[in-house]
Structure 1
Amino acid sequence: MRITVVGAGHGGTTIAADLKRKGHLVTLLKTSKSLHNENFDYLTNNKGQITIVDGKEENTVYLDVVTTDVEAAIKNAEIIIIYVQTNYHEQVIKRILPFMNEDQIVLLEPGYLSTAYFLKHEKKKRFTIVEAQSSPIDCRIIEPGKVKILFKNVRNPIAIYTEKDKAVIQEKLNTLHYHFVYLESVIEAALHNPNLIVHTIGGIMSIPRIEYTEGDYWMYKEVFTPHVWNMVESLDKEKMDVLEKVGLERLSYVEACKFRNFENQTIDAKEAFLTYAKNSSPEGPFVADSRFITEDVPEGLVLLESLGLMLDVETPTCTGLINIASAALATDFRENARTVELLGKENLEKIIGTLAVSVD
C-alpha cells in the first residue's frame, strides 16, 4: 500500500517506520516546525533512516519519502494516517483536502470526531474517514532517527465513516496488521479515546507533584489513588451517559482499556489498567501545561460537555474539570475549543445517522 503518515512526532515517526518494516511504501509528511525538528532534519539528511528499538531487537528502515510538500505527499496515497495533535486537526485537514480524492482512506489516530471537519470543509466529495480510539503503539523518539516501542495494543478498535462498501475498506485497513476491531460508529471511537479520561484527570491532579519534583514524575504510577479513581469513574459515567443517549452500548474506560491491551479478557479490568500503569506506562508529563491538559481538555472534555448540552445529558464532573484546568493554567479552555458549534451540528447529525436518538 502507498501510505502517507501526516505528522513527524513520536507516533507518526514510529508508525511510519513500523509500516515500512512491514513492506509498505511510506511517505512521512511534516506540516509544521513547532516540534521534533531535530528528528525530522535527521530523517531528511539520512535518506529517511529510522532505527526501531522493539524490546531486545533493533531494526533499521528507510522511508520512501520524507517531505514538507503537502500536495506531493497526499495526492497519490492510498491510505493517509493523521498523527498530529487534535488541536491542529482542522487546519491540517483544510490543507490536505484540496489534494485528496474519494478513493483514499483517512485514518485519524485518534479522532475526537474530526470526521466532522471533513464534512464541514468539503460539501461535494465523499471521503472515507476512519477514527481510532488510540494509537496501536505507545512509543517515543529517544534520539533523532531512533524510536522506542514501549507497548503494543492487542486489539485496536476503529470505526469507519463512508458511503462505500465497508468490507472493501476493512480489507485494505487489515493490510496494516494492527489487529483492528470495527465499531458501529465513529462516536464510539471518539469517546473511548483513553486520553479523554486519564490524560485530563491525571494531568490536572498531577500539577502539584510535577511542580514539586520539577518534572521527575510518572503520572500513571503515582496519580490514580483511590480518591482520584472516584473522579475517573464519575467522568466515565458521564461519557457512558452520552454514548447511551445516542443509542450505543455503555462501556467503561477500564473495560475498553482491557479490551485493547490484554489477550486475557477474564481478568479484572481495573487491575488490568493498574498493571499497565505499573509495568508499561511511560514517564511524565514533565510540565504542568502538558498536552494532557492543553490538548485533551479543549479537544476532549469540552467536546464531551458540548455533546452533553446538545443531548440533554448532565456532565458536572466534566464541567468542573474544565473549570479547574482553566483556573490552574490561567487559560480559557472553552475558547476556540472543539464544540458542537465548531464541528457543525448538521455534520454530527450525519455522523450519528441511524443511531437511535433525536438531536433536535
Structure 2
Amino acid sequence: MKITVVGAGNAGTTVAADLSLKGHEVTILKTSNSLHNENFNTILNNGYKINLIRNNESREAKLHLVTTDFKEALEGSELIILYVQTNYQEDVIKRMSKYLYNQIILIEPGYLATLFFLKECKDKPLIYAEAESSPIDCRITKPGEVTAMFENVRNPIGIYPKSRTKEALEKLELLQYNFIPTKNIVEAALHNPNLIVHTIGAFMSIPRIEYTDGKEYWMYKEVFTKSVWNMVNGLDKEKMDIMETLGCERISYVEACKFRNSLISNMDAEAVFFDYAKNHSTSGPYTSDSRYITEDVPEGLVLMESLGKYLEIDTPVCTSLIELSSSSLNRDFRSEGRTIERIGIENFKAILEI
C-alpha cells in the first residue's frame, strides 16, 4: 500500500521503517520543528534511509518520501497512520483535513481523536481505526537509527463506522500487526495503557526523579510497589465502571495488557505486566514534567473524568490525580485537557453506534 506516517518521533520512524521493509511505499510527514529534528534531517539527507535494529540485527529501510509538506505527503495515500502526541492531534488533524478523501486513518493511539476528525471531515467517507497502543515499543537510538525493543502479539483496534470493519481489516492485515477489532472506538481509547500506568507511575516517580536528577531511572521496574499497585487497581476500577456503563466488557488493565503482550493463556495477568516491566520496558522518564504526565493527564485522565461526569459515575482517584499532578507541576491540566464536551458529545454517541 501507499502509506503516510504522520509524525517523525520514536514510534513513527520505527513503524515507517518496519512497513517499508515489508514492501509498502511509505512516506514520513514531519508536522513541526519541536522534536526529533536531528533524526529527521539525518533521514532526509541520507537518501530517506533508516536503520532498524531488531533482535540485535540491523536492516536498512528505504522510504519513498520524507517531507514536511502536508499536501505532498497525504494526496494519493491509501492509509494514513497518525503518530503525534495526543496534545497536538487537534491542530495536526485540522491541517490534514483538506487533503483527506476516502482513506483509512489509523490513530496510534487515539484517546477518541476520531471525534476531531469527525468535526473537521464531516462529509468525507473516511474509515477510522483507533489502536489501544503502538504495536512496537521502540526508541530512536541515534539519528537515522531506531531500535525495536518489544512488540505486541495482538493489537486491538476500534473501527468506525462499524459497517466498514471488514473492509478496514482486509487493508490493515497487510501491515502484519495482528489487529483485533474491539467493540468500538471508545473501548480502544479507554484501554490505552498510558491512561493508567503513565499517569500513576510518573506522578509517584516525581521525588525519585528530582532527587537523582533523572539519572538511571526505570519507572516500570521501580515504582509499582504494593501500595502504588493499589492505586492502579483503584483507577482501573473507575475506568471499568465507565466502560461497563457504556456497554463494553469489564476488562481490567492487566487483562488487556496480557491480551496484547502474551500468547501464554494460563499465565497470570499481573505476572505478564511485571514480566514486561522487568525484562522489556524502557528506562525513564527522566524529568518530572515528562509527557507521561503532560500528555496523559490532560488528554487521558481529564477525558476519563468527563466521561464519568457525563455518566454520573464517581471517579475520585482520577480526579485526585488530575488535581495533584496540576499542583505538582503548577499547571491547570483540566483547563488544557480533552473532554467529550470539547470534542463533541453527538459524535461521541455516533461512535458508540447508538
Q: What TM-score, normalized to structure 1? A: 0.97
Whether the 8 Å contact between 1:126 and 1:163 is mirrored in structure 2 is: no
Whether the 8 Å contact between 1:157 and 1:182 is mirrored in structure 2 is: yes
Whether the 8 Å contact between 1:128 and 1:164 is mirrored in structure 2 is: no
Whether the 8 Å contact between 1:6 and 1:31 is mirrored in structure 2 is: yes
Q: CA 1:179–1:163 in structure 2 vs 1: closer, same or farther (change >3 Å)?
A: closer
Give unpaired runs (5+ residues) of structure 1: 355-360
Is 1:275 paired with 2:268?
no
Classify the secondary structure of the residue corresponding to 1:201. Answer: helix
Partner residue in 2 for 1:112: 111
Kindly provide the CA deviation profile for residues 202-247 of structure 1, in whole angstroms up to 9, marking residues without a partner as x. 0100000011111120000000000000000000000000000111
Partner residue in 2 for 1:137: 136
Partner residue in 2 for 1:72: 72
AA aligned to 1:110 is P
Whether the 8 Å contact between 2:201 and 2:220 is mirrored in structure 1 is: yes
AA aligned to 1:263 is L
AA aligned to 1:233 is N
Partner residue in 1 for 2:175: 176
User: How far apart are 1:336 and its partner, in Å?
Assistant: 2.7
Q: Distance in 2 between matches of 1:29 and 1:10?
A: 13
Aligned residue runs from structure 1 range 205-224, under 5 A:
205-216=204-215, 217-224=217-224
Partner residue in 2 for 1:303: 303
Is 1:202 paired with 2:201?
yes
User: How far apart are 1:280 and its partner, in Å?
Assistant: 0.4
Partner residue in 2 for 1:340: 340
Partner residue in 1 for 2:165: 166
Q: Distance in 1 between matches of 2:346 and 2:56?
A: 50
Aligned residue runs from structure 1 range 31-46, under 5 A:
31-46=31-46
Kindly provide the CA deviation profile for residues 160-184 of structure 1, in whole angstroms up to 9, marking residues without a partner as x. 1026532121100000000111111
AA aligned to 1:254 is V
Kindly provide the CA deviation profile for residues 98-156 of structure 1, in whole angstroms up to 9, marking residues without a partner as x. 00112x00000000001111111222223211000000000000000000111000110
Classify the secondary structure of the residue corresponding to 2:298. Answer: helix
User: How far apart are 1:60 and its partner, in Å?
Assistant: 0.5
Q: Distance in 1 between matches of 2:336 and 2:320?
A: 18
Partner residue in 1 for 2:263: 263
Partner residue in 1 for 2:290: 290
Q: Distance in 1 between matches of 2:163 and 2:227?
A: 47
AA aligned to 2:348 is L
AA aligned to 1:275 is D
Classify the secondary structure of the residue corresponding to 2:66. Answer: strand
Q: Distance in 1 between matches of 2:83 and 2:124?
A: 23
Partner residue in 2 for 1:89: 89
AA aligned to 1:123 is K
Partner residue in 1 for 2:189: 190
Partner residue in 2 for 1:23: 23
Aligned residue runs from structure 1 range 226-241, under 5 A:
226-241=226-241
Whether the 8 Å contact between 2:154 and 2:178 is mirrored in structure 1 is: yes
AA aligned to 1:116 is L
Whether the 8 Å contact between 1:298 and 1:338 is mirrored in structure 2 is: yes
Q: Distance in 2 between matches of 1:225 and 1:72?
A: 49
User: How far apart are 1:16 and its partner, in Å?
Assistant: 0.1
Give the length in aligned residue pairs: 353
Whether the 8 Å contact between 2:127 and 2:164 is mirrored in structure 1 is: no
Q: Distance in 1 between matches of 2:240 and 2:178?
A: 25
AA aligned to 2:256 is A
AA aligned to 1:85 is Q
Q: Distance in 1 between matches of 2:237 and 2:278?
A: 24
AA aligned to 1:129 is Y
Whether the 8 Å contact between 2:235 and 2:317 is mirrored in structure 1 is: yes
User: How far apart are 1:335 and its partner, in Å?
Assistant: 1.2
Identify which range, 20-29 or 122-131, moves more after superposition: 122-131
Is 1:60 paired with 2:60?
yes
Q: Distance in 2 between matches of 1:151 and 1:226?
A: 25
User: Kindly, what percent of the aligned residue pairs are identical?
Assistant: 58
Partner residue in 1 for 2:331: 331
Q: Distance in 2 between matches of 1:295 and 1:84?
A: 11
Give unpaired runs (5+ residues) of structure 2: none
Whether the 8 Å contact between 1:126 and 1:162 is mirrored in structure 2 is: no
Q: Distance in 1 between matches of 2:258 and 2:168?
A: 26
Q: Distance in 2 between matches of 1:163 and 1:122?
A: 17
User: How far apart are 1:56 and its partner, in Å?
Assistant: 2.0
